[in-house]
Amino acid sequence: MEAVKNVTPGTFSAYRVQHNGAVAIKLMVRGNVGAGGRDVLNKLGFIPVVDIANCRELLTTTPAELDAARNALIAAGVIVRPAA
């Protein structure tokens, strides 16, 4: 996925959760990421969090899903890779 226009990087976080008795990772992007950022989040399957403005989440159940979503967000400019 290429970088898109009208994107302001959001805050990215990941949480370990239980889903159907198995470990899963919930990815969250917070902040006003702009129209282009919302389009990217929608295409990746992120859904709005009820009662939290400018927050979307995606539940991933495999490492491959996690990596694919994170890498697509970085490539599109929706989130930035943290400094090492």
What confidence tens digit (pLDDT) does each residue in 9-48 have? 889 999 999 999 999 999 999 988 888 888 999 999 999 9
Q: What mean pLDDT do residues 44-63 have?
A: 94
Q: Domain range spanning residue 36?
A: 11-76
- pTM (2 decimals)? 0.85
**Which has the closest alpha carbon to 40: 83, 81, 1?**
1
pLDDT of residue 37: 87
**Residue at 5 is within a domain:** no
Q: What is the pLDDT of residues 62-76, one digit of tens each?
A: 999 999 999 999 888
Residue 15 lies in a domain: yes
- Burial-class residue 54 by CB neighbours within 10 Å (0-12, 13-18, 19+): middle
Q: Quick one: pLDDT at residue 8?
A: 73
**Which of these, 29, 16, 19, lies nearest to 74 by C-alpha position?**
29
Angstrom distance (rounded) from CA 15 to CA 37: 21
Q: How many domains does the chain have?
A: 1
